Protein backbone atom coordinates (compact mmCIF):
# COMPACT_ATOMS: atom_id res chain seq x y z
CA UNK A 1 0.00 0.00 0.00
CA UNK A 2 1.26 3.43 -0.90
CA UNK A 3 2.24 5.74 1.92
CA UNK A 4 -0.20 8.57 2.40
CA UNK A 5 0.10 11.72 4.43
CA UNK A 6 -3.33 11.83 6.06
CA UNK A 7 -2.70 15.41 7.19
CA UNK A 8 -3.43 16.38 3.58
CA UNK A 9 -7.09 15.55 4.25
CA UNK A 10 -7.24 18.39 6.75
CA UNK A 11 -7.32 20.72 3.75
CA UNK A 12 -11.02 21.01 2.77
CA UNK A 13 -10.20 21.01 -0.95
CA UNK A 14 -8.15 17.82 -0.66
CA UNK A 15 -10.81 16.17 1.50
CA UNK A 16 -13.51 17.11 -1.04
CA UNK A 17 -11.41 15.74 -3.91
CA UNK A 18 -10.74 12.50 -1.99
CA UNK A 19 -14.47 12.12 -1.28
CA UNK A 20 -15.35 12.72 -4.93
CA UNK A 21 -12.80 10.10 -5.97
CA UNK A 22 -14.21 7.59 -3.48
CA UNK A 23 -17.80 8.22 -4.60
CA UNK A 24 -16.84 7.83 -8.27
CA UNK A 25 -15.00 4.60 -7.48
CA UNK A 26 -18.01 3.27 -5.56
CA UNK A 27 -20.33 4.09 -8.47
CA UNK A 28 -18.01 2.35 -10.94
CA UNK A 29 -17.78 -0.73 -8.70
CA UNK A 30 -21.58 -0.82 -8.37
CA UNK A 31 -21.90 -0.67 -12.17
CA UNK A 32 -19.32 -3.44 -12.53
CA UNK A 33 -21.18 -5.66 -10.05
CA UNK A 34 -24.48 -5.01 -11.86
CA UNK A 35 -22.84 -5.99 -15.15
CA UNK A 36 -21.48 -9.21 -13.65
CA UNK A 37 -24.92 -10.07 -12.25
CA UNK A 38 -26.59 -9.47 -15.60
CA UNK A 39 -23.99 -11.45 -17.54
CA UNK A 40 -24.23 -14.35 -15.09
CA UNK A 41 -27.81 -14.93 -16.27
CA UNK A 42 -27.52 -17.61 -19.01
CA UNK A 43 -30.83 -16.62 -20.67
CA UNK A 44 -29.80 -12.97 -20.87
CA UNK A 45 -26.35 -13.87 -22.19
CA UNK A 46 -27.88 -16.10 -24.90
CA UNK A 47 -30.28 -13.32 -25.95
CA UNK A 48 -27.46 -10.79 -25.95
CA UNK A 49 -25.29 -12.98 -28.17
CA UNK A 50 -28.23 -13.55 -30.54
CA UNK A 51 -28.92 -9.80 -30.66
CA UNK A 52 -25.30 -8.98 -31.36
CA UNK A 53 -25.21 -11.47 -34.23
CA UNK A 54 -28.43 -9.98 -35.65
CA UNK A 55 -27.02 -6.45 -35.32
CA UNK A 56 -23.80 -7.51 -37.05
CA UNK A 57 -25.83 -9.09 -39.88
CA UNK A 58 -27.95 -5.91 -40.24
CA UNK A 59 -31.14 -7.63 -39.06
CA UNK A 60 -31.65 -5.41 -36.01
CA UNK A 61 -33.32 -2.02 -35.87
CA UNK A 62 -31.80 0.92 -34.02
CA UNK A 63 -33.83 2.55 -31.28
CA UNK A 64 -32.98 5.32 -28.87
CA UNK A 65 -33.48 4.71 -25.17
CA UNK A 66 -36.65 6.82 -25.29
CA UNK A 67 -38.04 4.88 -28.28
CA UNK A 68 -37.32 1.62 -26.50
CA UNK A 69 -39.13 2.78 -23.35
CA UNK A 70 -42.17 3.83 -25.39
CA UNK A 71 -42.23 0.49 -27.18
CA UNK A 72 -42.27 -1.49 -23.93
CA UNK A 73 -44.82 0.61 -22.00
- pLDDT attached to residue 2: 67
Q: Is the pTM of this model over 0.85?
A: no
Mean pLDDT by 10 residues, the chain (73 residues): 77 92 96 92 91 88 83 77
Q: What is the C-alpha R_g of the chain?
A: 21
- CA 30 – CA 41 distance, rounded (Å): 17
- pLDDT attached to residue 30: 95
Q: What is the 3-state secondary structure (H, E, C) of 7-68?
A: HHHHCHHHHHHHHHHHHHHHHHHHHHHHHHHHHCCHHHHHHHHHHHHHHHCCCCCCCCHHHH
- pLDDT attached to residue 13: 93
- pLDDT attached to residue 46: 93
Amino acid sequence: MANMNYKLLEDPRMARKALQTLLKTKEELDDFIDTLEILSNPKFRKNLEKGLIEAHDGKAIKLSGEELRKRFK
